[in-house]
Amino acid sequence: KQSIDYDYLILALGCETSFYGIPGAKENCFNFKTFNDAIELSEHIARMFFNARSVEDKEELEAMLRFVICGGGATGLELVTELAYYINNLSRKYEGLRGELVLVEAMPRILPGLPKEMAAYAENALRKLGIKLFRREPIVEVGEDFVELRNGERIYSKTIVWCAGVKPPELLKRSGLKLDKRGYVEVNRFLQAKLNGEAEETVYGAGDVIGFLKETGKPLLKLGRHAVDQGRVVARNIYADISGKRKVPYSPRAEATVISLGRGDAVGFYGDKILKGKMALWLKYWVENRYLKGYMV
């Protein structure tokens, strides 16, 4: 253990992967959170196709060329639709080998928490790409080469990717800070964390780790654009505190998100407007270029 003194503390820990206590999920699934995770998955899938050339057993071959994505949220959806093109390219490279993509979502529809119109458009995109979708089917167990659903069905696969959820970092439970009902750091309008119900003047929170409520009383969506804005507010308020100026409250901009659905397609929303197809894709490229170029070195 090491103790570090601070003048100001900024909590920007993000979230941790949640496996919901499902037996075998943590041990037998690929993660998909980092660049290295993506590289590892890509190389593994290519290796499955390469090795499948010499496999004669039908069930073994199907398991090798079946790729299961657990979780129909934004991450799972972007991954599975992009993989459709990657696997199609591998199928052309290795003639006679056909890959199969499966998306499993426990809720009644994909993209839970986002507008229903977005989910309907995305589901249609999955059908066009030939991706098999299971809805209302919670996973109850994950083995080395299978996913078992609540209805008792087993989906056999050598490649199971977990994109099914996040949770607050475990260390928050030991922090002494006030947490909301979901376990995220409760902050005031200046993004200061609370200790014993009162704002802690030198401790701030930003990004996915905080539980910020909108005027409607609903939690703010955990989006990158909100994290960037919150970071700016935290920086300004620390400077204000040091220089004796007034702090500025955080006021969320209209919520917006765009989800890629593979090459040339996307769906999203901005405020109460639903965006589809080329327009949504253009907005995604614009947003990514605007924010990411500030971090390029």
For 65-116, how does the pLDDT look when each residue is reduced to its tens digit (9 = 90+)? 999 999 999 999 999 999 999 999 999 999 989 999 999 999 999 999 899 9
- Calculate the alpha carbon distances from 52 to 67, 87, 97, 173, 193 in Å: 13, 13, 8, 46, 53
State residue 295's pLDDT score.
62
pLDDT number for residue 234: 98
Residues contacting residue 96 through CB under 8 Å, at least 6 positions apart? none
**pLDDT, position 290:** 75
**Count H helices, E strands: the chain?**
7, 18
Q: State yes or no: pLDDT of 16 exceeds 90.
A: yes
Two tokens, residue 206: 């930003």
DSSP 3-state of 210: strand
Give 106's DSSP letter: S
Strand partners, 160: 68
Instruction: Answer yes or no: are the C-beta atoms of 242 and 47 closer than 8 Å.
Output: no
> Which domains, from first to last, does the chain contain?
9-15+167-243 (3.50.50.60), 19-164 (3.50.50.100)
| Closest C-alpha among 234, 261, 262 to residue 248 | 234
Q: Which two tokens stand for residue 73?
A: 């949220």
Helix, coil or strand: residue 116: helix
Helix extents (H) in the chain: 25-28, 35-52, 58-64, 74-93, 116-128, 224-243, 277-292
Our CA dihedral for 263, 285, 162, 114, rounded to 10 degrees, sits at -100
Beta-carbon contacts of 193 under 8 Å, excluding residues fewer than 6 positions away, are 11, 177, 178, 185, 186, 187, 199, 200, 203, 204, 205, 210
Give the model confidence (pLDDT) of 140-159 as tens digits: 999 999 999 999 999 999 99
165-219 pLDDT, tens digit per residue, is 899 999 999 999 999 999 999 999 999 999 877 888 999 999 999 999 888 888 8
The pTM (predicted TM-score) of the whole model is: 0.91
CB 170 within 8 A of CB 189: no
